[in-house]
Each structure stands twice: as structure tokens, then as C-alpha cells.
Structure 1
Amino acid sequence: MPGSDAVKRTTLRSQIADALRDEVIAGRLPAGRQFTVKEIAESYGVSATPVREALLDLCAQGLLDVELHKGYRVREFSYADFLDMVEARTLIVEGVFRRSAQRALQAATPEALASVRRRAEEAGRAAVAGDLDILIGYDLRFWRELAGLVGNPYISDFLDRVRIQSWAFTVPLLRRLGDLRGRLWHGHAELVEAVACRDGDRAQQLVAAYNDHALDLIRSLATGFDRSPIE
């Protein structure tokens, strides 16, 4: 079939990009880690072309930096970067719950809301259990689909990018705690119900509480001071 090779390469590129993104977020490719296209290609047993394209995709997502004549390096985010990320994602989510977005939410299908609810339930269970690896995947899907309810792909894509970077910074800090049960925000389901009821004020209150929780916990870890578990 004409173009089938290009389709296969594009699919492989996406698979490699997704796999490497997960490695970075999970901290298995830690901040500052250097590598080359050849190293990744040999690791995955594929040619250099889809790997190079996948790495450029991750550069565009802000997870990698290109180092001239050296290859690539996993970007190192600072606590100041994290504060900016929280501010950025807050502005995006607040936009989702403004009046213009509320009109779009009224057009959300029952199927779309049901899907977001499933993501919320899974994310909430993983958060309560302290299962960080499972939480990350469901949490990213949850926010991507929640933002997608307004029907603007630019909002969903930009929020996804910021949240991916937020996880890349926070995961190494969170792993220091060891047992994460009772420490992670798990209000996903409550937020979905506020959205389903078109209660923008309640939704914004929940997002504000979530941000306060995240800032308090990460601030304590970034400064080396760990507080007691969150109720």
C-alpha cells in the first residue's frame, strides 16, 4: 500500500516517544541523564530515524534538551520552574471553568463524561493507595479528557504538556517519601461531579485546594522538610 512505510515509521516514532516520556516521568531516565540516538536505537532494537524523530518530539514537549555534538539530555527543572508550572496550569484550568467554557461543557456527551469519571475513579484509587506509577498514567488521562470536554484541542494539549513537566519534576521528590499512602491528592471524582453539575465555583475551589496541596507537599520535599500525612 502506498505510504504504508511512512505510517509504520510514524507509529514507531509515537511508540518510542511515549515509552521514553514514561521513562522520564517515572524517573527511570533521571534529570541530567545524557544519551545519544544510537544508544536509544540499540536499546529498542530499531533504526535511528524514528528514534531521532521521537527525541525531537520530546524536545518539543520540553522534556529533553539537545546538546550539540553530544546528543540529548533530560531537562532539569528547578523548584522555581515548578511554581511557574503550577501557575500556568492553574490559569489553563480556570479558563476551562469560565462562562464561555461552561457553554461548551453543556454540550459534552454522556459518553465523554463517563470516560472522565472512569479516569477519575482509577486515579483516585491509585492516589489513595500511594501507587505513583499507576496514578501518573490515569492522572494525565484524566486532566487531558477533562480539558477536552470544552472542545478546544489547544487547551487540552497545552495543559497536558505542563502536567507532564510537573510530574517530571515532582516524581523524584515524591519517591523520597517511600510510602505515599494518604499523601497524594485524590479529589478527581469530586471534581468530575462538580463539572457534571456545571458548578464552576465548586470546581475552581477543588482545583485551588489541589494546587495548595501540591505546593505544600512539594515545598516541604524540595526544602528537605517533610510534614505529617495529609488527611
Structure 2
Amino acid sequence: MKQSAQGSSGAGTPERRAEGGVRVPAQARVADAPDGFRERDTAVPAARGEHTHSERPIPQPSAVQRSSVRGQILDALRTALATGELKPGGVYSAPVLGERFGVSATPVREAMQQLALEGAVEVVPNRGFRVVERGARELAELAEVRALIEVPVMLRLARTVPGERWAELRPLAEETARAAASGCPATYAEYDRSFHGALLALSGNEQLVAIASDLHRRSQWPPVRQGRAYLVADAAEHMALLDALIAGDVDIVRGLVTGHFAGAS
């Protein structure tokens, strides 16, 4: 229920990470890097004028499968955002990231352009992409907009959708709880958004689902809360909400959804 601390997909199965578990490590100034992570003489050269110094070299990962390369890179970058490996305010160049993934800069740049449309990064001319920094006010504004959209819809659905339809979503809620127990904020972020999308999908309004999912994703970057205890408590609210929806208890539904967004702001 609460906004997790990492395009809109709506209801459905959460996206997979890039094959081979490819991850994008955080980058930092060389002066701040621990021993073993200092920039070497063999650092990747700059390409197309993009800024590459101060980015940590790491061992070359296995090459990403060429099928759906852009999609795999996009998944890996989203995971890195959700876990905080791509740090707010950090600037990352497509050629360097491409070298790390074992692909050309093109699919990385395309994936970053998608993330820019989603509000996760912004283009920095001749340097690459900067991860957005969101303050408390912007996160509160996102929570307010989500509440204006989702709360009335959920209350309407609570009155009109039969309990057996809600019960069909229990397996997804249980998967969300397992994702929370794993303690991985990136995994939980995907299941959390999928659960919200599945609830709203019962409205039959695809545009609503798409807009709500986009707002939800924006509110997850940068990650604010990543502790396992928080994720488990958040998933428990999903189960409580689903139980109330199945029982047709509109008052409990109202308290859960309004309390969630009030707490998120």
C-alpha cells in the first residue's frame, strides 16, 4: 500500500531483471572510492563527448543476451534505481554503462530515454543522464495526486465489485508479501505497483490504470524506505485491504486507503 522506497505496466506480472543478474553499481567520486575501486589506467575512454571520469570501473559482466536488449537494460536500470545503486543527483553516461553491460551505448541510451519520460532521470547534454532528486515536498505532492485519483475509485469499487472478484487477487497479494519478506526493495516495488494496478483494473478504465501506475513509479524513485520491516508492514496492509474488500466493509476500506496516502505525504 505505501509507496515503496525503485512506463506504466498496470496490473500484471512484475518485470524481470536483466538476464545473468546484471546490476549497475553505484558510481562515486574517485577520491571517495574505497581501495580496489579506484579508477585504473584502463578506464573506459569517453565516447561522443559524454562525461566519463569519476565513474568506477568494475569487472566486465557477462554480455546481455541480444534478444530484447533494450528491455533487459531497462529492467536492470530500474532495479538499480529502486535499490539506490544509481544515486539521486548522480550523472551516468550511456557509453560507460554500455561497456559494463557488454552492449553498445545505443540500447542504454534508449532505455535512459524511457526513464526520462517516466521522470526517473533527466538528460544532461554532452554528459549523459542525471538521476532525479525529489524532496519531501515533491513526494508529498505525488502522494496527494495519487490519493485524489485512487481513493474515490477504490471506494466506488468497494461498493460495486463482488467479493469473489476481489478474492481472485489474493495470490498476487501473497506474492507481494513474499517479495516484502525477501527484503529487496526493487522486487517489492514491482509487486507493490502490480497489486495496486490489479485493484484499479477492476474499474475497467485502462487510462486510469496507466496514469496511476506512472504516478506510483515516480513516487518510488528515489527510494526512501528500504527496510525489510517496512516492506513487510506495507504488504500486510495489502492483505488487510483485500480482506475488507472481500467482506464488503467500505468503512475499513476508506480508513485503509485514506490513511495510507495521509501517511505517505
Alignment TM class, shorter chain as reference: 0.7 to 0.9
Aligned to 1:208: 258
Q: CA deviation at 1:203?
A: 2.1
CA change 1:151–1:109 in 2 (3 A) is farther
C-alpha contact 1:123 1:139 (8 A) present in aligned 2: yes
List per-residue Cα deviations over 1:139-190 (Å, max 9, x = no partner).
1221122222222222222222222222223x3x424xx6636984321012
Higher helix share: 1
Tell me which residue corresponds to 1:189.
239
Structure 2: 5+ residue stretches without partners: 1-64
1:1-231 matches, within 5 Å, as: 11-97=68-154, 99=156, 105=161, 110=165, 113-114=167-168, 116-124=169-177, 127=180, 129=181, 131-133=183-185, 134-169=187-222, 171=223, 173-175=224-226, 180=229, 184-185=233-234, 186-215=236-265
CA distance in 2, matches of 1:102, 1:13: 39
Contact 2:91/2:128 (<8 A) preserved: yes
Contact between 2:188 and 2:231, CA under 8 Å: does it hold in 1? no
TM-score, normalised via structure 1 length? 0.72
Structure of larger gyration radius: 2
CA–CA separation in structure 1 for the residues paired with 2:191 and 2:111: 22
Task: Name the CA distance, whole Å, in 2 between partners of 1:205 and 1:83.
Answer: 19
Letter in 2 for 1:37: A
Are the structure 2 counterparts of residues 10 and 183 from structure 1 closer, same or farther at C-alpha, using a change threshold of 3 Å?
A: closer
Contact 2:98/2:104, CA 8 A, preserved across alignment: yes
Cα contact 1:32–1:74 (8 A) shared by 2: yes
Q: Aligned equivalents of 1:82 and 1:130: distance in 2?
A: 25
Shift of 1:24: 0.6
TM-score by length of 2: 0.64
Q: In structure 2, what is the Cα distance between the partners aligned to 1:201 and 1:145? A: 21
Deviation of 1:37 after TM superposition, in Å, equals 1.3
Q: Is the 8 A contact 1:9 1:50 kept in 2?
A: no
Q: What is the aligned residue count? A: 199
- Higher relative contact order (CA closer than 8 Å, sequence separation 6+): 2
Q: How far apart are the structure 2 equivalents of 1:190 and 1:179?
A: 19
Partner AA of 2:264 in structure 1: A
Are the aligned partners of 1:130 and 1:183 in contact in 2 as well (CA < 8 Å)? no
CA contact (8 A) 1:194 1:203 kept: yes
> CA contact under 8 A between 1:58 and 1:64: conserved in structure 2?
yes
Contact residue 121 and residue 129 of structure 2 kept, 8 A: yes
**Could you report, residue by residue, the CA deviation over 1:198-218 in whole angstroms, capped at 9, with x for unpaired residues?**
544432321112223434xxx
How many percent of aligned residue pairs carry the same amino acid? 31
SS of the residue aligned with 1:62? coil
The 2-side partners of 1:182 and 1:9 are apart by 34
Asked if structure 1 preserves the Cα contact closer than 8 Å seen for 2:176 and 2:192, the reply is yes
Give the 3-state SS of the residue equivalent to 1:69 in structure 2: coil
Contact 2:189 2:220 in 1 (8 A): yes
CA–CA distance in structure 1, aligned partners of residues 231 and 204 of structure 2 = 34
Structure 1 residue 66, shift from structure 2 partner: 0.4
